[in-house]
Structure 1
Amino acid sequence: MDGQQLAELIGLKHAARDQVAVELGHTNNALCQRLRIGEIDEGAITAHESWHPAPHDFGWGRVLKWKGRLAHASALDIAVWHDNQLAGMCWASPQGSKQKIMVLYLQRNPDASLATRGYIAPLCLSAVRYYAWMLGLRWVVVRDPLPEARQAYQLDGFTQVKGIGLAYDLSRDYAGPDHKDY
């Protein structure tokens, strides 16, 4: 992978994160004004440490190492901030596939009082769908979802697909962005 390809991937990742704000702005502009959607960095990892004891430890600290590896250049990382509080994170990667992107980790801040409760998975999955669509992939697949999260994914359009897993079929019903917003 050359420098131009890496730059293109970085641009696609920024566009995917930005698209989330466009979509949310149409439905909940007040919340959108208080969100910042960026990449996972040292600040996000440090903020995540305050979540402990969280019910699940996905080992988010590894993401910073992964981001520096060429093998993970096409992975999408998302950190969702509400005001100055980390509200959630997501890591998704095609893992070399030409057909699918795998949502490997998706976690929301366990603080039930946050205004972002109920928004983190849909926001992150929207970014992943848009990114996968731009890459020309067909499937967004959630790898090994927690049993209590499976229903939330299904409400967001994911279905169990034989041989694929819990997946969202981009070829059937994802129209991509509304270009008039640009």
Structure 2
Amino acid sequence: MSTYRHRGLRYQVFRSQARKLAQEAFCKSQRAPRPGLDVDKVCFEPIGHRAFEAFQGWGEQTHHFPWEEVPRWTDFDLKGFDLSLWSARELCGLCYASPRRSRRCIKIILLEGKPGPENPLRGLVASLSLLAVAEYARMLKYSRIEVQQPDPGAEPLYQSLGFARDPGGSLVISVAAMSPQRTFHISEVPVSYSKDSKRAALIKRYTAQAIALAGEITDQQRHFLEVGFKEGLEKEPEGILAGPRSGPIDYEWSASAAK
């Protein structure tokens, strides 16, 4: 397995575990669920063909970000993070984040919720997306999350979640460290394994690493959920929450300046 594919598999496992841990944290949250919301039906999944089909049913209010391009983006953007939020079979939100060329900050590039009052996760799209992005950031050992091009109407919600403008004008939040820190040992994968066996061993290795790096749910993530339940319906706009309102989307990650 080449070094490039080796790294790609690691981040694929990290993405999967970040979604899984975020879903578990949401389902186990102590907050009383919103009336009519069945937390056991809420799923954190990658963005794939099923999401593309469901997205087409969102209607004319949808901003129509090119979500169908996400698989191509992640082919080149190895550390990119994609997330689709579901309630049973209903697509409720979509998120794409990427460090681009940064080694300390992951950036939410696109974030969009299904418009309309029928969205079962209305008011929770930003909070649940952040729950998962924070898991992923800790796996990457990153210290900040940035929302690029936040929708102006969503800024009060981001501020309640803990974001603030830095001296350069970027909307950022520091990633809370896991507590307590776990110690772990990851064994090497013998080179004598067959290709399939080596891949399976690597997946097992990276899964253990991801879980150890993420640690337990933090108070910051509990705060994300608390804000979503208490203030989301009032402060979260329908539809677009982050991303360009017009013009092309900068998805040429390798050409982006490091930050």
Provide TM-score, normalisation by structure 2: 0.63
Alignment match, 2:189? none
Match of 1:44 among 38, 51, 68: 51
**1:124: which partner in 2?**
129
Q: 2:216 aligns with which of 169, 178, 181?
A: 178
Gaps of 5+ in 2: 179-213, 218-259
Q: What whole-Å deviation, never above 9, does each CA across 1:39-63 have from its counterpart, x for those lacking one?
A: 0001101111111212523222222
Partner Cα separation in structure 2 for residue 58 and residue 65 of structure 1: 14
**Inter-partner Cα distance in structure 2 for 1:177 and 1:168:** 19
Q: Tell me: higher relative CO, structure 1 or 2? Use CA pairs within 8 A at least 6 residues apart.
A: 2
Q: 1:49 to 1:96 in 2, by over 3 A?
A: same
The equivalent of 1:100 in structure 2 is: 105
- Percent identity over paired residues: 25
| Cα distance change on mapping 1:31 and 1:162 into 2, 3 Å | farther
* Contact 1:80/1:88, CA 8 A, preserved across alignment: yes
Structure 1 pair 164–95 and aligned structure 2 pair: CA distance change class (3 A): farther
In the alignment, what sits opposite 2:86?
81
In the alignment, the residues of structure 1 paired with residue 8 and residue 134 of structure 2 have an alpha-carbon distance, to the nearest angstrom, of 20
Q: What's the CA shift for 1:177?
A: 3.7
Q: CA RMSD in A?
A: 1.8
Partner of 1:4: 6
On the 8 A contact 2:41/2:88 being kept in 1, the answer is: yes
Name the structure where strand makes up a greater proportion of residues.
Answer: 1
Report the Cα offset of residue 2 of structure 1: 2.3
Structure 1: gaps (5+ residues): none
- 2: CA distance, partners of 1:114 / 1:52: 13
- 1:109 aligns with 114
What is residue 62 of structure 1 aligned with on the other side?
69
Indicate conservation of the 8 Å contact 1:20/1:127, yes or no.
yes
Structure 1 position 112, deviation (Å):
1.3
Query: Which structure would you say has the larger Rg?
Result: 2
* Separation of aligned partners in 1, 2:216 and 2:104: 24
Kindly tell me the number of residue pairs found equivalent between the two proteins: 175
**Is 58-67 or 141-150 further displaced after alignment?**
58-67
In structure 2, the residue matched to 1:21 is: 23
Give yes or no for contact 2:62–2:114 (8 Å, CA) kept in 1.
Answer: no
TM-score (norm 1): 0.88
Asked whether the 8 Å contact 1:77–1:92 carries over to 2, the reply is yes
Note the C-alpha offset of 1:174: 4.1
